[in-house]
Amino acid sequence: QKEVEQNSGPLSVPEGAIASLNCTYSDRGSQSFFWYRQYSGKSPELIMSIYSNGDKEDGRFTAQLNKASQYVSLLIRDSQPSDSATYLCAVNRGDSSNTGKLIFGQGTTLQVKP
Amino acid sequence: DTGVSQDPRHKITKRGQNVTFRCDPISEHNRLYWYRQTLGQGPEFLTYFQNEAQLEKSRLLSDRFSAERPKGSFSTLEIQRTEQGDSAMYLCASSLGPRTGPVYEQYFGPGTRLTVT
């Protein structure tokens, strides 16, 4: 079992729809959760961070965390073609030394069709 | 520009040659991370520094790899005797730290794409 798992996709949604991206993690001690967006050939760009159970909203993006289910998701409302990218879920395991080391999933490719 | 910068952006080298990459973090960040990313995969942690101290190295970092952050500012990653399997995007990220509880957010540089022929 991978430490952080994502469906590689592609996930295809029409423009204006809600895109839902999911991520599961294996370490129950994980404390910090991040979503990065990565356009082809570019580096990851941080779009959301979440640390507590529940929802966190930022513009068109909502991150959802459920530590009991070891599940984190990202919702993108009113999807635009410019949202087409790979979305990476990253988890910090909260080790005692608190290095901040991130464990990434393989990413989900999102395609938003006009 | 106050973001993370990396140099060079692209490097093509022949197998067996040595290469060195540089990373300049966001100025107020005292933590610096190196990751490696291959096609279709998420970034994999290589090593990290808090100020000038290298505090953790991944088992992915063989003895051909060495990283330094001599004055707690910029960092270099050197790969000796490159192999074709070293071809990847090498990413640098920086963050504030340390702290107790949830970690600070990491911001990535543009990466250095290495091709070993």
- Give chain A's mean pLDDT: 94
For A45-61, write each residue's pLDDT tens digit.
999 999 999 999 999 99
What are φ and ψ of residue B82, in 5° steps?
Answer: -55, 150
Reported in sequence order, the residue ranges of A15-53 that DSSP labels E, i.e. its strands, are 19-25, 32-38, 45-50
CA atoms lying within 13 Å on the CB side of residue A14:
0
Q: Please give the structure tokens belonging to residue B5.
A: 């910068």
CA quadruple B78, B84, B89, B94: dihedral sign: negative
Inform me whether the pLDDT recorded for A5 exceeds 70: yes
Residue B74: exposure state from Cβ atoms within 10 A (0-12, 13-18, ≥19): middle
Among candidates A34, A92, A101 on the partner chain, residue whose Cβ is nearest the Cβ of B56? A101
Chain-chain contact of B48 with A100 (C-beta, under 8 angstroms): yes
Q: Shortest CA distance to A34 belongs to which of A25, A43, A24, A47?
A: A47
Q: Which of B29, B33, B60, B103 to mutate to test the interface with A (most CBs of A within 10 A)?
A: B103
Q: How far is the alpha carbon of B80 from chain A, nearest alpha carbon, in Å? A: 24
The single-letter code of the amino acid at A64 is Q
Task: Tell me the C-alpha distance between B38 and B15, whole Å.
Answer: 18
Q: Mean pLDDT, to the nearest integer, of B82-101?
A: 90
Count of CB atoms within 10 A of residue A61's CB? 17
Nearest CA in chain B to A6: B42
Contacts of A34 in chain B (CB under 8 A): 105-106
B94 part of contact set with chain A, CB < 8 Å: no
Chain-chain contact of A106 with B89 (C-beta, under 8 angstroms): no
Contacts of A47 in chain B (CB under 8 A): none
**pLDDT level of residue A1 (50, 70, 90 thresholds):** confident
For B61-90, write each residue's pLDDT tens digit.
889 999 999 988 999 999 999 999 999 999
Task: Tell me the C-alpha distance between B115 and B104, whole Å.
Answer: 32
The pLDDT value recorded for residue B72 is 85
Q: How far is the alpha carbon of B9 from chain A, nearest alpha carbon, in Å? A: 11
Contacts of B31 in chain A (CB under 8 A): 100
